[in-house]
Structure 1
């Protein structure tokens, strides 16, 4: 009965005497009918996402209730009736407005609770005595997103605690007594004000995950050196410069996040973490990465973005399981030679944006299983004027991203050789034109995302609607006139194509009418000057002049020159441009005649 805008439960609810699980989440309840608790078979009650402030007195009759979800309501205290639920194992009161939890003798009844969730309240105090009745049962305690400035010493009484979450609080230190929680597997204390770890934590021999991101840690002691069970360590957004050598014993480490710190090189102890799968060192001060990184044979993901690396060791190419490599915004001038790079046989993601390459690193073509290539350049970097032809050899590529370059045209080459390409991102280039050949290429017609914002496009090609699978089109910040931005913003390829075809058909008709008006309005010298302004091939202009060299054939020569201009310029050959050129060469009378005809046509249409 979830998500039904229910405001009230009728008394007939008590007739459901075999009801076990009842979900009333995301309705509009302001109270719970007390008759509900006469159903003694009820074990799970979910009323999250309502407007409750209290519970009925008869709730304490729910002797079999084991799971109660009151999250995302309007409670500012824990109702005493809940404290009578002796069989309760899971209590969720997250995302309410509870500020304090004071001791109540009825709390001694909560001796069966396995999980307590108080996330997302305004909690700034809870009595340490609350933890006493929970000491033999509580396994999961969630205090995330509150305003606590400390954890009580009595946390150490929770002998069976396995998971502790206190992310996004104001906690300044971890109590020594946490060492008595020897069954702890997960500790999440991200986004607090912790500056050190108690040495007693070395007794947490079952700890698998420790998260301490966004704290004030600058010196990391060897407290964790003996914790060989540790598999995931997150220390991002601190002020750490190094890790103790003793952490070489953490040979079971699989995930190490040291991003947004002050490391100048990968800590030596990390080279002993032979089971490491994910290594994140982005946004540090790394200037050197030792060749020993090649001994971390199980690495699948390395993030080295936003450092000052000038070279990648060729030994990194020994990482045969590496799938994700991100080294954007460093000072790399080259990549390892192709004979090394091709050993990264399963690499699927490569980001080399914002480096100091003088040209596109051609050895990337050897990464035949690459699915996503990111090569965004910025103001300080050498920009590409066209997509590199080496892309054509990446037959498994699905996503190509070349933002902030100087690419001026999108053509069928090299993208037409990519049978799996789905998304193309060319934002903030200098693209003036998308060729019709691009739209006609069979492989291109499979793309789903085309992002071109911040370019110089004025028109879309005639066959743009061949991109029938396109789901997301971004043309913001382009001076697009055909079709108008309102049509482009809607992103419907069929509508865009239909509009273009109608507009081109209309333009052709207007252009042919303009040609007819012009054929008798020019002498041969004016025509020769017009051909020069059209920038037509001299060879073809001369051929037309020879073919129609008689005086009486001048009007045929005029039409031939005009049609050649139309042929050479395609969609860019339109009436407005013709009028503009006529004004430039001084044929104002002819220009005004065509403009008057254009205005008349628009009036008649209206």
Structure 2
């Protein structure tokens, strides 16, 4: 997903773009570009800095600078690019991003900032069209600030950070009614925001490898299909999970919970073709 920006519209509905492809070109500096460029592919170079002159690319819709050496931060001018739809700055050396870097990004649908050195990101509230957000593999201690409603956000991947319970407000997921997949494993959370269980379209939750001591009581969305809770400190599970009849991947290795609930979850999962259940001892059972 990181190596090439996805193309969401067919050639029949999207006009031919002014495209610049300089992938793996050995670049150490940002190239000089025509002002009408709409797609810019720069992945797998050794670019160390994005210049303020990027602000002149007012038609830019796709920016892919994955796997470079872009360090510390970005110029404020990048935040003025209101035509952007997809941005991939993953696998760089970014440390801090500010509000100004996202100010006019109301059309951005896909934002990949994973595998950097980010300790903070500015407010993502302007990104009201956002569908996919990847921030995993950074050093964040808090979930990013969102708008009151991020109506399109379906995928949030923020695993392998340092997110603490204090940085995950209880009401956080009230802003994400379209959330389908949350990957938040490998952080420092003792609790998950209670609003998560009210996301009506949630399909997958990866919350393993956190020091979790409790889960929201629910009721949990009946859309839930995958639930990963291994390597946590959980000593109980909410009984409302039994109502998630679509569950087909569940891992509760090491979780202390009621025997009857564990058995009920196992039955739910293994009754499905290709279902896989990992029990409290790590034993795996597959559906037929």
TM-score category of the 2 structures, normalised to the smaller one: 0.7 to 0.9
Deviation, 1:250, is 2.7
- Residue 227 of structure 2 aligns to a residue whose secondary structure is strand
- Residue 173 of structure 2 aligns to a residue whose secondary structure is helix
Deviations 1:245-299 (A, max 9, x none): 5543434322111211121233443332111111111000110124322211111
Matched, 1:311 2:214: yes
Output aligned runs, 1:16-95, within 5 Å: none
Q: CA 1:402/1:240 → structure 2, altered by over 3 Å: closer, same or farther?
A: closer
Equivalent in 198, 204, 209 of residue 105 of structure 2? 204
Report the TM-score when normalising by structure 2.
Answer: 0.81
Where in structure 1 do 4 or more consecutive aligned residues deviate above 4 Å? 358-362, 366-369, 399-407
Query: Which structure 2 residue ranges, 5 or more long, are not aligned?
Result: 1-15
Q: CA 1:329/1:116 → structure 2, altered by over 3 Å: closer, same or farther?
A: same
Q: CA 1:120/1:318 → structure 2, altered by over 3 Å: closer, same or farther?
A: same
Q: Give the aligned partner of residue 10 of structure 2.
A: none
Q: Give the aligned partner of residue 330 of structure 1.
A: 232
Output aligned runs, 1:179-328, within 5 Å: 179-198=79-98, 199-222=100-123, 224-243=124-143, 247-265=147-165, 266-267=168-169, 268-315=171-218, 317-328=219-230
Aligned length: 267
Q: Give the aligned partner of residue 100 of structure 1.
A: none
Deviations 1:403-426 (A, max 9, x none): 99698xxxxxxx8xx8x53xxxxx
Q: Give the aligned partner of residue 584 of structure 1.
A: none
How well do the aligned residues superpose, as a CA RMSD in angstroms? 2.8
CA contact (8 A) 1:309 1:332 kept: yes
Q: Give the aligned partner of residue 4 of structure 2.
A: none
Matched, 1:153 2:56: no
Deviation, 1:227, is 2.1
- Residue 174 of structure 1 aligns to a residue whose secondary structure is coil
Matched, 1:347 2:250: no
For residues 257 and 125 of structure 2, the distance between their equivalents in structure 1, rounded to whole angstroms, comes to 44
Q: CA 1:179/1:219 → structure 2, altered by over 3 Å: closer, same or farther?
A: closer
Q: CA 1:396/1:403 → structure 2, altered by over 3 Å: closer, same or farther?
A: closer
Output aligned runs, 1:109-508, within 5 Å: 114-128=18-32, 131-132=33-34, 135-136=35-36, 138-172=37-71, 173-198=73-98, 199-222=100-123, 224-243=124-143, 247-265=147-165, 266-267=168-169, 268-315=171-218, 317-337=219-239, 340-353=240-253, 355-357=254-256, 362-366=261-265, 369-370=268-269, 394-398=270-274, 400=276, 421=288
For residues 80 and 276 of structure 2, the distance between their equivalents in structure 1, rounded to whole angstroms, comes to 52
For residues 366 and 127 of structure 1, the distance between their equivalents in structure 2, rounded to whole angstroms, comes to 55
- Residue 125 of structure 1 aligns to a residue whose secondary structure is coil
For residues 361 and 146 of structure 1, the distance between their equivalents in structure 2, rounded to whole angstroms, comes to 55
- Residue 225 of structure 1 aligns to a residue whose secondary structure is coil
Q: CA 1:248/1:116 → structure 2, altered by over 3 Å: closer, same or farther?
A: same
- Residue 196 of structure 2 aligns to a residue whose secondary structure is helix
Deviation, 1:180, is 3.7
Q: Which has the higher helix share?
A: 1
Deviation, 1:305, is 1.0
Query: Which structure 1 residue ranges, 5 or more long, are not aligned?
Result: 1-111, 371-393, 408-414, 422-606
For residues 225 and 275 of structure 1, the distance between their equivalents in structure 2, rounded to whole angstroms, comes to 16
User: More relative contact order in 1 or in 2 (CA 8 Å, sep 6+)?
Assistant: 2
Deviation, 1:363, is 3.5
Q: CA 1:397/1:171 → structure 2, altered by over 3 Å: closer, same or farther?
A: same
Q: CA 1:361/1:193 → structure 2, altered by over 3 Å: closer, same or farther?
A: farther
Structure ID, larger Rg = 1
For residues 293 and 272 of structure 1, the distance between their equivalents in structure 2, rounded to whole angstroms, comes to 10
Deviation, 1:169, is 0.9
For residues 405 and 249 of structure 1, the distance between their equivalents in structure 2, rounded to whole angstroms, comes to 40
- Residue 203 of structure 1 aligns to a residue whose secondary structure is coil
For residues 282 and 49 of structure 2, the distance between their equivalents in structure 1, rounded to whole angstroms, comes to 54
For residues 272 and 402 of structure 1, the distance between their equivalents in structure 2, rounded to whole angstroms, comes to 32
CA contact (8 A) 2:132 2:153 kept: yes
Deviations 1:158-193 (A, max 9, x none): 222111111111102222222342211010001111
Q: CA 1:244/1:304 → structure 2, altered by over 3 Å: closer, same or farther?
A: closer
Q: CA 1:405/1:233 → structure 2, altered by over 3 Å: closer, same or farther?
A: closer
For residues 20 and 128 of structure 2, the distance between their equivalents in structure 1, rounded to whole angstroms, comes to 29
